[in-house]
Amino acid sequence: MSDRNSGTIGRRGLFKSSAALLGGTLLGRGAKADAEPQIHNVNTNSSPSTLKITDLRIATVVRGPGEGEAPLRPQRDQPAGQRGQAPPMGGFGCTIIRIDTNQGVYGLGEVRDGASATYALFLKSRLLGENPLRLNYLWQKIKQFGYHGRQAGGVVAVEVALWDIIGKVYGVPIYQMLGGKFRDKVRIYGDTTESKDPIVYARREKERKEVMGLTWLKMDLGIEMVSDIPGTVTVPSGLSPFEARTLPHPFVAMEVTDKGIEKLCEYVAAVREAVGMEIPLSMDHLGHLGVNSIIRLGKAYEKYNLEWMEDVIPWQYTDMLKHITEQSPTPICTGEDIYLKEGFQELCSKHAVSKIHPDLSTSGGILETHKIGDMAMEYGVPMAIHYAGLPINQIACVHCAAATENFLALENHWLDVPWWQDLVEGIDKPIINKGFITVPDKPGLGVTLNEDAVKKHLAPGTGYFEPTSQWDNERSGDHLWSMAPPRVKTEESKG
C-alpha cells in the first residue's frame, strides 16, 4: 500500500509506475488504431495487439568522389524502371530500410556498408502482416537468411528496425529494453587517412586526438606502405587478382622482411611520438601475410603498446589465431565478419584472440551483440564494436554499447565526411562530441531522418523509399528440415 506522506511506493503502486514508464510517448501523428478494452497508462495512439507490418522500403546513400577514407569505385546509374530494387553497390554505400505499420509508427534500420539491399528486400514478403512487436519470433523466422560478412546485412537491418518500432510503441529507448545503461556516453575510435610520409601520417593522427578530441585512435598500416622499397616484402610475382584478393592470408606466400618491419615501425614510432603513449592506439589492414610474419610484427610493435592488431588472418582459423595470440606480445583482435554468437564463443572459449570486435550489422543485431559481449566477459575477453556505416546503425550500436557491461570503444569510419551527421535529426549535434556519443533518451533509436540530406546523397538513379511491391509475394520453402503436412488443424487452418 502506498504511503503518500512518506514518499514511498508499495507493490501495487510500483506496477502502476512500471506501466506508466512503458506508456507515454505519442506516435504516428494522426494514426488510427482498432479499439481495445480500456487500459490505463498505455499509449492510446497505438494498439499493440493489432499492430501489423505493411511495407518495407529502402534508400541507399553513397559517398561522393574524394569523400572519406574508403576507396571509391564509379557508381553505375540505375534505370528508372528498376527503382525499388537493390541498387548496384559499386562504391561505398549503405542502404537504409524503413518498415511501416498499419498504425503510422515506423522503424529504421540499415544494411551493412557495401552490402546489397537485396539482402533486406527479399525478406519483405516474410514480414508483411506480422506484428513487429514479436521480435524473437520474427528473428527466428528470418535468422537463417543471414550469414557471415555482408550477407547478414538484411536480417540485421530488420532487427534494428523492429527494435525502433517497439521502443516507439512503448515509449522507451532501446537501451532500456536491454536492461538499462552502464554508461551515459559511448567512446568512439577511428582510423586516419594514410600517408606514405610517416610525419604526415603522424600529424593526421595527432589532429584526430587534439582537434576532434578522440580518446582512442586506430591506424591502417599494411605492407603496401613499404612494398615499393626494395627488400621489404617477399611475394611471388604474377599473382592473379583472385589470388591477391580472395585467397586467405596463409595461401598467398607473402612475407615481410626484417627491412620491411623496420620501415613499418618508423610509422608507428612517428605516431607514438606525435600522440604520446597514453592514448590507446589500434592497428588494422596489415596485409595478406603469413602467420610467422604476423608474429614477428607483433613482437616488433610491442614497445609501442598497441591495443590490438586487427584481423591478421581470417577468423575461421581458430588454431592459427591461438598460436599467433600465444606468440605475439601485441594483442590480437577479430570478429567484424562473424555472424551470431557461436563463432565468437569458439574463439573466446579457446582464448584464440585477445579481444573481439563484432560489427553489429553482421553479428546479428542489437540483442545478439549484447549477448556476445556478455558471453565474452565470462571468458575474460574484452569487446569493442566495429562499425563503418551511417548514423542509423551507429546509434543502434550506441544503445547496445550503453547497455552492455563488456565494452571498450565503438568505431566510426566517416570522420572526414561532414554531412554524415546531417542524415539524422532529433539528436544533439555534433553527434561525436570530444570523442564520445551521448546515448539518446528518446523512444526507439531516438533519431529520425533528415529527408533533404538523405535525398542529396542517394545512390545515382535510385529513389527515396519508393514502392517495393515487386517484393511483396516472393516465396520459397524456408524450412531447414523435412516436414510432413500437419496431422491436426492449426489455428491458421481453422481460420
Q: How high is the pLDDT of residue 173? A: 98
- pLDDT tens track, the chain, 495 positions: 333 333 333 333 433 333 343 443 333 333 444 444 443 444 555 689 999 999 999 999 998 876 765 332 223 333 333 445 555 444 578 999 999 999 999 999 999 999 999 999 999 999 999 999 999 999 999 999 999 999 999 999 999 999 999 999 999 999 999 999 999 999 999 989 999 999 999 999 999 999 999 999 999 999 999 999 999 999 999 999 999 889 999 999 999 999 999 999 999 999 999 999 999 999 999 999 999 999 999 999 999 999 999 999 999 999 999 999 999 999 999 999 999 999 999 999 999 999 999 999 999 999 999 999 999 999 999 999 999 999 999 999 999 999 999 999 999 999 999 999 999 999 999 999 999 999 999 999 999 999 999 999 999 999 999 999 999 998 888 888 887 776 677 665 555
Separation of alpha carbons 413 and 69, rounded Å? 8
Correct CATH for 43-172+454-471 of 3.90.420.10, 3.40.605.10, 3.30.390.10, 3.30.70.660: 3.30.390.10
- CB of 164 within 8 A of CB of 445? yes
Per the listing, cell 532487427 goes with 159
Separation of alpha carbons 290 and 221, rounded Å? 16
Separation of alpha carbons 407 and 359, rounded Å? 13
Cell numbers describing residue 95: 542502404
Determine what percent of the chain falls in helix, strand and coil, rounding each to the nearest 5: 35, 15, 50
Strands 281-284 and 217-220: parallel
Q: How high is the pLDDT of residue 81? A: 37
Q: How high is the pLDDT of residue 85? A: 55
Separation of alpha carbons 60 and 117, rounded Å? 8
Q: What is the CA radius of gyration of the chain?
A: 24
CATH 3.30.420.40 for domain 185-442: no
Helix H or strand E encompassing 378? helix 366-378
Per the listing, cell 605475439 goes with 328
Separation of alpha carbons 290 and 293, rounded Å? 5
Cα of 353 vs its chain's centroid, Å: 20
Domain ranges of the chain: 43-172+454-471, 185-442
Q: How high is the pLDDT of residue 77? A: 33
- CB of 351 within 8 A of CB of 321? no
180 residue type, one letter: G
Which of 366, 465, 357, 386 lies closest to 156 in space, CA to CA?
366
Q: How high is the pLDDT of residue 71? A: 33
Cell numbers describing residue 293: 610474419
Q: How high is the pLDDT of residue 67? A: 74
- CB of 114 within 8 A of CB of 92? yes
